[in-house]
């Protein structure tokens, strides 16, 4: 058996151990004796170091022309395409989605990279008539500074890409805390950015848990904006904390979604939608279907629609993998 790899925080371009001296194990949910890796259990000191590094990098990164920043994101998209299969297998091992879904997760990051690369040439401002004589008025876009990001475990590469790529193209620097269940996928994503030419300190990673590592990011006075994806309960705490300092805050939280089947529905298609909506990603999505119709009887579904193989996500015939961890 090969030795378990220890992963470190990324701060100012260097992979460093947490100042806490503590680590935690990331386990394969399909086989909890399989340790995916050992990760840093970060604390407020680590966050302070990461924010300081991001502040220092901001002074030069904000001056890089937006099209040049976007070219790095485009190159990252090319590298993600080359590494898609490797990263999909890593993701399946660490959080349990079937390979078809983890390949889709990586693909979303690829698509986001290509889209945001184009936005580097579309950071338009506006010119408007002025009521003052011999004057004109214009608006230009300027980066905010250091952006704090807290990512979830259910789409551990797609969602960090949605947060990181737009912020970077716009000239911001970032401190990101991935979910403690899926830190490897975020590390893979950021390593790809580094390999694409991202300068040191522009993106910093602190791994660990919400109270010790997430809360210091939200409350840090030099973090100018927050992007959070997670539960509604934690999102409420994040939103309230950001509001105290009038910090811009993006929250993407949970949902309670219904399936509505009308009388003229094609029943097999409706069943496909309901099954995918409820059990895709093992139901671990804010958009997962959790409520259905009650009362009207429909014809029985065809046998192939009644059969949905479940098992280890790395198996080719599995359509539903395990929950990311017990209790989900």
Say which residues have a Cβ less than 8 Å from residue 170's Cβ, sequence separation at least 6.
Answer: 66, 123, 141, 143
- Choose the catalytic residue: 71, 286, 304, 324: 286
Contacts 24+ apart (CB under 8 A), 62-67: 62/142, 62/143, 62/171, 62/172, 64/171, 66/120, 66/121, 66/123, 66/169, 66/170, 66/171, 67/120, 67/121
Instruction: With H, G, I as helix, E, B as strand and everything else as coil, classify residue 56.
Output: helix
To the query of whether residue 170 is one of the catalytic residues in this protein, the response is: no
Nearest alpha carbon to residue 265 among 216, 310, 299 = 299
Say which residues have a Cβ less than 8 Å from residue 275's Cβ, sequence separation at least 6.
Answer: 305, 308
Nearest alpha carbon to residue 137 among 146, 127, 147 = 127
With beta carbons less than 8 A apart as the criterion, state whether 164 and 149 touch. Answer: yes
Nearest alpha carbon to residue 48 among 228, 217, 247, 208 = 217
Residue 252 buriedness (CB in 10 A; 0-12 / 13-18 / 19+): middle
To the query of whether residue 252 is one of the catalytic residues in this protein, the response is: yes
For 19-39, the DSSP string reads TT--EEEEEETTEEEEEEEEE
- Choose the catalytic residue: 252, 297, 304, 324: 252
Q: How far apart are CA 227 and CA 230, in angstroms?
A: 10
Positions marked catalytic: 252, 286
């Amino acid at each position: 058996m090969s030795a378990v790899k220890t992963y470190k925080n990324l701060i100012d371009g260097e992979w460093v151990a947490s100042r806490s001296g503590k680590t935690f194990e990331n386990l394969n949910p399909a086989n909890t004796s399989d340790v995916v890796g050992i990760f840093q259990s970060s604390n407020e000191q680590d966050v302070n170091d990461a924010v300081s590094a991001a502040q220092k990098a901001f002074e030069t990164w904000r001056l890089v022309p937006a099209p040049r920043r976007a070219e790095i994101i485009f190159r990252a998209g090319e590298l993600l395409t080359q590494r898609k299969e490797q990263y999909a297998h890593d993701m399946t091992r660490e959080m349990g989605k079937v390979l078809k879904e983890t390949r889709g997760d990586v693909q979303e990051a690829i698509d986001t990279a290509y889209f945001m690369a184009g936005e580097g040439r579309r950071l338009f401002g506006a010119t408007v008539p002025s009521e003052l004589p011999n004057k004109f008025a214009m608006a230009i876009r300027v980066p905010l500074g250091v952006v704090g990001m807290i990512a979830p475990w259910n789409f551990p590469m797609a969602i960090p890409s949605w947060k990181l790529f737009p912020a970077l193209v716009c000239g911001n620097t970032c401190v990101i805390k991935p979910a403690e269940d899926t830190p490897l996928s975020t590390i893979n994503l950021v390593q790809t950015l580094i390999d694409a030419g991202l300068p040191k300190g522009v993106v910093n990673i602190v791994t660990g848990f919400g109270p010790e590592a997430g809360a210091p990011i939200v409350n840090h006075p030099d973090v100018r904006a927050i992007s959070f994806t997670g539960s509604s309960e934690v999102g409420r705490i994040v939103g309230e904390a950001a509001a105290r300092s009038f910090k811009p805050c993006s929250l993407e939280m949970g949902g309670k979604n219904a399936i509505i089947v009308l009388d003229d529905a094609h029943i097999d298609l409706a069943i496909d939608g309901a099954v995918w909506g409820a059990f895709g990603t093992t139901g671990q999505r804010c958009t997962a279907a959790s409520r259905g119709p009650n009362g009207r009887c429909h014809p029985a579904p065809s046998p192939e629609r009644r059969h949905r193989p479940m098992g280890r996500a790395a198996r080719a015939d599995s359509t539903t993998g395990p929950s990311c961890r017990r209790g989900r």
